[in-house]
Copies of this chain bind each other. A is one copy, B any other.
Amino acid sequence: MSATPDTYPPTDRTVPTRSRDRASYDKDLVHAILDEGSVCHLGFVRDGAPVVLPTLYGRVGGRLYVHGSTGSRPLRTAGRGEDAPGLPVCLTVTHVDGLVLARSAFHHSLNYRSVVVHGTAHQVTDPEEMRTALDALVDQVVPGRSRDARPANAKELAATAVLRLDLAEVSAKVRTGGPNDDPEDLALSHWTGVVPVRNGYGTPEPAADLDPSVALPGYLAALTGPRPVEAPSC
């Protein structure tokens, strides 16, 4: 399998050793999975040992930006400037879609969509790229929010560090559908099927010091409207 303009090229690291039929390199699928999340799990190596931390990210085209602090250990390791070595990372985003209950314990599973990105992250230093990255981080949490917040000032920019990670060595993995029980188990009387997992938002809670005349903005109504979780009043 080779890369096309619509796919990422598979590599030794992105071809799984098992469940290969669940792997995909399709760019649209990879981007859609990334765009649905706002927290990734960022892995790096410190003193020879693995570290995995949850952190905010944002996507701009074929690039991811990952939030950090200038004082954080991974950022210090990455260094600054064009000649800095950067930080080898593995960035993973996972959405759980369903609990798959088979008749046999062995075939229990989850329906999920995940993306794993391998690469070397570099600290963003260009001021223009920095602003693009910060907007992307805010908009990844709430689409449209960056235009409705005070932009970072010079002091805040200096206190913020952002890592850039190009989407190059990347794969998606997706499981869908029901349980795959073995034929000899089909007569067992255990309940079997899928429990869908739903993620949504509750009613926005204004800050105590918010001027009551400030209405809920449209981008928040759009976010919390189509996926109601709390029961409507009937």
Contacts of A38 in B (CB 8 A): 96, 99, 110
Interface class of chain A by DSSP: mixed
Q: How large is the interface on A (under 10, 10 to 19, 20 to 34, 35 or more residues)?
A: 35 or more
Would you give the 0/1 interface string for A117-160, flagging 1 where the beta carbon is closer than 8 Å to chain B? 01000000000000000110110011001101111110010011
Q: Tell me, yes or no, whether A21 is within 8 Å of chain B by CB.
A: no
- Asked whether A198 lies within 8 Å of B195 as measured between CB atoms, the reply is no
Contacts of A51 in B (CB 8 A): 13, 43, 50, 90, 118
Contacts of A192 in B (CB 8 A): 206-207, 209-210
- Asked whether A90 lies within 8 Å of B50 as measured between CB atoms, the reply is yes
Q: Tell me, yes or no, whether A196 is within 8 Å of chain B by CB.
A: yes
- Asked whether A72 lies within 8 Å of B108 as measured between CB atoms, the reply is no
8 A Cβ contacts from A184-212 to B:
185-186, 188-211
- Asked whether B150 lies within 8 Å of A49 as measured between CB atoms, the reply is no
